[in-house]
């Protein structure tokens, strides 16, 4: 098998794992287990917490001690077993512990899969999107697979949604753990002159343009969680009326659009127009989607607006990882990817998960949520991000070398 095929399979499984639970777990927690918006938001914040810690584990191990593919394999096997065993958990305290331990295992693999792909691609600007798109396909496959399972067992009360989202994620993780051993061999960069790779990556923040980039990425990431935490409960509410059985399939509209943007538009747009213009389009797509959520009608338009996620995610976050790979010194690339993962998937998503859950609770009275007021908040904040990014970010002043 070619390296690109194996890397594509890796991305498929990496995001099938995440896609099996992230889009619909909040609906399961709130609608089935009876958790509050704040409780669901905190559980979603556990992956960001883990992502903050992860670089000190995953990036350091892969940059300095063990082959990257083996680090990924062992983490996925351990995480998969934990999810399968923990899928029957129903109490809030037990769910916190299961998800915290799992996220600490899974989080390092998000940056490491990017790192191993960049290392084995000759032209990351041209080829990364084509590899990463298989992650989106995996996310879609997980959503459709979960919906198919729920349709199949719909006639059996209590089984259709009970823990199945975590169980499916666990199965995907075990499969990936086995297949990861066959990924292209990626030994640690022992020739690096500095032993603590992540500390060297932190020095990239001394570059003004990279600092501006990271601050905007952080704020946009906080607003990403309004989508991940609240979209499923919003769509399954009486305002829109999507069923719990079909919600995972409906949510994949976003990823279907993401495939088109990542496979066709990003490889054309990024080399021709550069990082800044690409990311500006990505930022502007966010308030457009949230404005439609605020309007809330007709239902078909709200559902169709999920397709804007293709531009929201690909033109901003995927482009962000490519940008980091372009400017990071070769011997700390895994840790540089881990650094941006900390900023986006760590601090940004941690603040966003708790903030979005708090906002939902704030605008919920007697069990009814004012979704219009909820989504006005991310609309305003993403518009502000776009304005600041246009004014302050200058991509030409790249942090080509790690400051001494």
Domain annotation for the chain: domains and CATH numbers? 3-392 (1.20.1250.20)
Q: Report DSSP state, residue 35.
A: -
Q: Going along 307-392, which residue ranges are E strands?
A: 364-365, 368-369
The CA distance from 191 to 400, in Å, is 19
Return the pLDDT at 97: 95
Place of tokens 């960069």: 189
113: β partners: none
Element (H, E) at 12: helix 3-21
Angle ∠(233,243,262) on CA atoms, nearest 5: 70
User: What is the end-to-end Cα distance of the chain in Å, rounded?
Assistant: 41
pLDDT of res. 170? 94
Structure tokens of 281?
């389009």
**What are the average pLDDT values for consecutive 10-residue runs of the chain, which has 404 residues?**
86 94 87 85 89 67 68 92 90 94 90 81 71 88 88 63 84 95 76 58 78 86 89 90 87 87 84 86 91 93 93 87 78 73 84 91 89 94 88 62 41
What pTM was computed for the model? 0.73
* Helices vs strands, H then E, count in the chain: 20, 2
> How far apart are the C-alpha atoms of 7 and 40, rounded to whole Å?
33
pLDDT of residue 65: 63
Which tens digits make up the pLDDT trace of 44-58?
989 888 878 766 666
* Residue 286, both tokens: 């966010």
Adjacent-strand bridge partners of 369: 364
Name which of 381, 251, 262, 382 is nearest 313 in CA terms: 262
């Amino acid at each position: 098998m070619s390296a690109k095929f194996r890397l594509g399979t890796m991305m498929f499984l990496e995001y099938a794992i995440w896609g099996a639970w992230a889009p619909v777990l909040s609906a399961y927690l709130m609608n089935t287990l009876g958790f509050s918006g704040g409780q669901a938001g905190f559980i979603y914040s556990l992956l960001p917490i883990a992502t903050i810690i992860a670089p000190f584990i995953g990036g350091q191990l892969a940059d300095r001690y063990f082959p990257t593919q083996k680090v990924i394999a062992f983490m996925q096997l351990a995480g998969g077993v934990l999810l399968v065993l923990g899928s029957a958990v129903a109490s809030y305290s037990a769910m916190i512990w299961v998800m915290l331990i799992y996220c600490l295992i899974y989080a390092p693999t998000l940056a490491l899969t990017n790192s191993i792909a960049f290392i084995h691609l000759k032209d990351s600007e041209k080829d990364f999107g084509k590899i990463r798109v298989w992650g989106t396909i995996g996310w879609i496959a997980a959503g459709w697979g979960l919906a198919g399972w729920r349709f199949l067992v719909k006639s059996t009360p209590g089984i259709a949604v009970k823990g199945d989202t975590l169980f499916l994620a666990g199965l995907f993780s075990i499969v990936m753990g086995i297949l990861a051993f066959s990924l292209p061999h990626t030994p640690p960069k022992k020739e690096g002159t500095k032993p603590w790779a992540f500390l060297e990556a932190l020095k990239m923040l001394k570059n003004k343009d990279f600092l501006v980039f990271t601050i905007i990425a952080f704020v946009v990431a906080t607003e990403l969680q309004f989508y991940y935490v609240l979209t499923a409960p919003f769509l399954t509410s009486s305002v829109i009326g999507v069923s719990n059985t079909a919600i995972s399939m409906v949510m994949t509209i976003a990823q279907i659009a993401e495939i088109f943007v990542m496979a066709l538009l990003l490889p054309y747009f990024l080399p021709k127009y550069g990082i800044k213009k690409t990311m500006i389009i990505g930022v502007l797509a966010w308030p457009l989607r949230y404005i439609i959520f605020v309007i809330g009608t007709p239902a078909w338009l709200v559902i169709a607006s999920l397709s804007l996620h293709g531009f929201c995610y690909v033109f901003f976050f995927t482009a962000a990882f490519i940008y980091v790979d372009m400017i990071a010194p070769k011997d700390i690339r895994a840790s540089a990817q881990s650094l941006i993962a900390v900023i986006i998937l760590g601090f940004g998503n941690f603040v966003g998960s708790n903030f979005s859950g708090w906002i939902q609770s704030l605008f919920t009275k007697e069990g009814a949520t004012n979704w219009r007021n909820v989504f006005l908040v991310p609309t305003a904040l993403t518009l502000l991000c776009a304005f600041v990014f246009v004014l302050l970010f200058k991509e030409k002043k790249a942090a080509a070398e790690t400051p001494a």
